Amino acid sequence: AAWQLHLGLLAKCIVAALVKQYWMDPAGKLHDLAGMASYMYAYSAYLFFDFAGYSAIAIAISHACGIRIPANFNRPYLATSIQDFWNRWHISLSTWFRDQIYMRFLLANTKAGWVKDKQLAASAGFGITFLLMGLWHGIAWHYVLYGLYHAALLSGHGYLGRALKDRPFTRGRAWTVASWFLTFNLVCFGFLLFSG
């Protein structure tokens, strides 16, 4: 618990603060495409170190008090798909939305038969779930846009996954690296939307 507390303090109070002061804030004053790209990556780095650091501190203090809380982050920027990212990022929130909104919608749809096509039903479930997740962060257009953006990414991932299933080129190292690179940049762009 002590080691995790120190890591959390390092991430939140030092690394996140340095990223904000020396990268994010200066990039936010630039008004060109390169400045926007720099801000996008800076904000993504800041958000991770600030939030993951805060979560590590909360988990460490809880463990010291005898309360076991599972990890909230699992190397999310190493994800190789948008689905993989949401299994690694803000795990407590994403798991709750998955279980309480998405899965309940799919179950209700199966019983009621609103949407017959399974992939289309999944897309509708993503739309509802991530619209609500966006609004959970606040009632603002950029949170709604962020939620709908991720719903579209997850829907696209579902359709693409079916189209590329069992293709030989999807098993190589080059595909893994390309998938990571694309996922990372799509996630960072989503955080740019989130930042407003």
Task: Enumerate the active-site residues.
Answer: 137
147 neighbors 133 (Cβ within 8 angstroms): yes
Residues composing the chain = 196
14-20 long-range contacts, CB within 8 A, separation 24+ = 15/49, 15/53, 16/46, 16/49, 16/50, 16/53, 19/45, 19/46, 19/49, 20/46
Q: Which two tokens stand for residue 16?
A: 């996140």
Inter-helix orientation angle 33-64/2-9, to 10°: 160
Residues 6+ apart with CB under 8 A from 5: 56, 57, 60, 61, 64
Instruction: Find where tokens 């579209």 sit.
Output: 152
d(CA 84, CA 153): 12
